[in-house]
Amino acid sequence: AFPLSTPSIHLETPRFRTVMTQTDVTATCVVHSAYDAKVIWLLDGKDPTSRTPVSQDSSTTESISSNLTLPSSQWKALNTITCRAEHRCFNSTQKTSNVKG
C-alpha cells in the first residue's frame, strides 16, 4: 500500500513573449504523486475541457504531466489558471497561477 500523501504540483505557464508572438500557447502541469491521479484544468475557475484539447501522459509512476493548449487570444483574456489533481486516496490538491499581466 502507498502512504497517504498529498501530491505536489508544479504549474508552468508560457512566458509573456511567447503569448505575444505565438498563435497557440501551452501550460504544463506536473503532478508528483505515487497514485495515478486525474489532472483537471480550470480557467478562471471553470472547466475548459469541453472545448480545449488537454493531453495527459503518465510518463513515470511518480509523476503525471498534463499540457493545456490555448489560442493566445484566449490566454490574454484569462485571469487565473488552475491545475488540480484528484484521486480517491487523497484530498484534491490544486495550484493556481495568476496570469493577468
Query: What confidence tens digit (pLDDT) does each residue in 51-86 have?
Result: 666 676 655 568 889 999 999 999 999 999 999 999
Whole-number pLDDT of residue 50: 59
18 in helix, strand or coil?
helix
Please answer whether residues 16 and 72 qualify as being in contact, where contact means their C-beta atoms are separated by less than 8 angstroms: no
Q: Which residue did the predictor score with more confidence, 58 or 44?
A: 44
And the C-alpha cell for 57? Answer: 501522459
Q: What residues contact 62, with CB distance under 8 A and at least 6 apart?
A: 32, 33, 34
Q: Is residue 49 scored above 80 in pLDDT?
A: no
And the C-alpha cell for 2? Answer: 502507498
Report which DSSP code applies to 76: H
Q: Cα 67 to the chain's mean position, in Å? A: 7
Q: Where are the domains of the chain?
A: 8-98
Predicted structure pTM score: 0.84
CA 83 – CA 41 distance, rounded (Å): 5
Report which DSSP code applies to 45: T
Whole-number pLDDT of residue 1: 47
* Domain 8-98 class in CATH: mainly beta
Average pLDDT across the chain, whole number: 86
Whole-number pLDDT of residue 62: 81
